[in-house]
Amino acid sequence: MKNRWKVAFFTLLSIMLMGVSVMSYILFKPIEASSPEKKEIHSSQTNPLELTANKENLTEVIQQYINEQQQNGSVEYFVDLTDHIELFGKMAFFPSSIDFQMTFEPKVLENGDITLIQKTMSLGGMNLPVSTVLNVISRTYDMPEWIHIKPNDESIYLALTEMNLQSGLNVQAKTFDLENDDISFFINP
């Protein structure tokens, strides 16, 4: 009788060990899925990604960028995209502040950069000569390297192609028609 129990015990133990072995094999067996080959991407072979925006969305993006870049607390400003680009703000002037407004007409260049042609400039209730104001701004405020103020042309050149994005991507303007709310950019690797 003792032998029967021994044989039954070892048979049951063998079946259990065999079951655990089969389950372990199935569980830890590597998956044989075909993985895609890694291809080297050359920037000359890739197509740019086209992004479109409306005035409201682009205004939010521009304002967020301005808020991140503002270094000097003596000037507060914000942008509003209507049929023109409007820049509103306040400049600290002794114990109070002076309101200002600038209006620009955007023009997309063939290389994807944008020229902002200044139409009006007012400081408080005074309309000022555009070239004088741009000259003061260019000498007074530090701008990112990709923003070039041209007082003699009464314009601001936005060299989007020189903009350093953290991701290493390159931006080019395709269209910037505010009257028809047609704004699009190319993003290149």
Q: Give the pLDDT of residue 78.
A: 83
Q: Give the pLDDT of residue 39.
A: 47
Each residue's pLDDT tens digit in the chain (189 positions)?
Answer: 567 777 787 888 888 888 878 776 766 666 554 444 544 545 555 678 888 999 998 989 888 887 777 655 556 778 899 999 998 887 766 777 778 888 999 999 999 999 999 888 887 777 778 887 787 777 777 777 888 888 888 898 999 888 877 777 888 999 999 999 999 998 887
Distances (CA, A) of 44 to 41, 51, 133, 166, 189: 8, 19, 42, 21, 9
Q: What pTM did the predictor assign?
A: 0.68
Q: Give the pLDDT of residue 187.
A: 87
Q: Which run of H or E residues covers position 12?
A: helix 2-28
Q: Give the pLDDT of residue 134.
A: 80
Q: Give the pLDDT of residue 136.
A: 75
Which backbone phi and psi does 178 adopt, to 5 degrees? -70, -35
* CB contact set of 120 (below 8 Å; sequence gap of 6+): 101, 102, 103, 127, 130
Q: Give the pLDDT of residue 3.
A: 78
Q: Give the pLDDT of residue 116.
A: 92
**Where along the chain do its domains lie?**
49-188
What residue type is assigned to position 38 of the chain?
Answer: K
Q: Give the pLDDT of residue 35.
A: 45
* CB contact set of 86 (below 8 Å; sequence gap of 6+): 79, 80, 101, 102, 103, 104
Q: Give the pLDDT of residue 73.
A: 56
Q: Give the pLDDT of residue 37.
A: 52
